[in-house]
Amino acid sequence: MTQLPALLLVGGGRMGGAMLAGWRERGLSQVVVVDPSAEAAKLAGEGVEVVASAAEIPLGFAPDAVILAVKPQQAAQALPAYARFAGRGVFVSIMAGQTLRAIAGMLGVKAALVRAMPNTPAAVRQGITVAVAGLHASEHQRALADDLLAAVGQVAWVTEEALLDPVTAISGGGPAYVFLLVELMERAALEQGIPPALARQLARQTVIGSAALLAASEEDAAQLRIAVTSPGGTTERALAVLRADDAWPKSFAAAIEAATKRSQELSA
């Protein structure tokens, strides 16, 4: 891929920093990061300038894309300062809960917008981002947004913004569910007398290895589960407990529903 064009990153926190690292690997021309924190200053380097506020953006700087990575609760105060870039570049928002309509209200109704929901594996370029384009985003601007988001993992596009609520519940929160599984496996290992260091190693590497197997296989998850479940064996006995009265499937479905409803509440 060719060198990325001029970019303005608003917010240099964990996700913004992960995206910047991915862009660096793709090749940068010029990036300005707006973030007042001392930690954000460490992002500066070749092709990357860090400033504390929108007022300090270099005169004449004209970004092709403005990436909005501030905390959602800061949006109303922070975003109007960037309305002057509407009409030229595309705004790519990774703020949870801020709808296209709400963002347009802060930047101007004709701003070219893309709203995206990445997840934390973006930090190791293994994320999954789902995006939706606003009415004024051109094909070229959507392609640029796709390039920027693809720097940290896979990208999928939807046409219905409402789908970002269940997406947030599944992939946005998904890493936390996986980490909880590792916690529970490690705790159970300790309860069975396995030494702490080995319990940790077993829990972590089992999930890491299983994910790698899933990624390498053309079979779906159900088939892989069946393949490792010998009739009458230990795995079958464990799964019988987890699926007793459909408890685990029901509780997981209820958890995703609860997270989806909360995302809808935050978007209202």
How confident is the model over 20-63, as pLDDT tens digits?
A: 999 999 999 999 999 999 999 999 999 999 999 999 999 999 99
| Residue 134 sits in the same domain as residue 185 | no
- Classify residue 70: in a domain, yes or no: yes
Q: Specify the CATH number for the domain of residue 62.
A: 3.40.50.720
pLDDT level of residue 266 (50, 70, 90 thresholds): confident
| Residue 152 sits in the same domain as residue 210 | no
CB 10 within 8 A of CB 52: no
Residue 103, token pair as written in the block: 């963002």
Q: Which residues touch 75 (CB under 8 Å, ≥6 apart)?
A: 68, 95, 98, 102, 103, 106
| Residue 101 sits in the same domain as residue 215 | no
Q: Specify the CATH number for the domain of residue 257.
A: 1.10.3730.10
| Residue 145 sits in the same domain as residue 199 | no
Q: What is the DSSP letter of 161?
A: G
- Classify residue 1: in a domain, yes or no: no
What's the pLDDT score for residue 267?
81
| Residue 253 sits in the same domain as residue 215 | yes
| Residue 47 sits in the same domain as residue 130 | yes
| Residue 177 sits in the same domain as residue 145 | no
> What's the chain's average pLDDT?
95
| Residue 82 sits in the same domain as residue 142 | yes
Residue 200, token pair as written in the block: 């940790």
**58 Cα distance to chain centroid:** 29
| Distance separating alpha carbons of residues 257 and 109, to the nearest angstrom | 32
Number of domains in the chain: 2
pLDDT level of residue 88 (50, 70, 90 thresholds): confident
| Structural domain of 192 | 172-267
**74 Cα distance to chain centroid:** 18
pLDDT level of residue 247 (50, 70, 90 thresholds): confident
Residue 67 exposure: Cα atoms within 13 Å on the Cβ side: 31
Reported residue count of the chain is 268
- Classify residue 82: in a domain, yes or no: yes
Q: What is the pTM of this model?
A: 0.91
Residue 93, token pair as written in the block: 């928002």
| Residue 108 sits in the same domain as residue 176 | no
Dihedral pair phi/psi, residue 117, rounded to 5°? -125, 95
What string of DSSP letters covers 173-216? SHHHHHHHHHHHHHHHHHHTT--HHHHHHHHHHHHHHHHHHHHH
- 159, 194, 213 — which closes off a domain? 159
How confident is the model over 119-175, as pLDDT tens digits?
A: 999 999 999 999 999 999 999 999 999 999 999 999 999 999 999 999 999 999 999
Q: Which of 135, 130, 132 is nearest to 159 (CA)?
A: 132
Q: What percent of the chain has pLDDT over 90?
A: 90
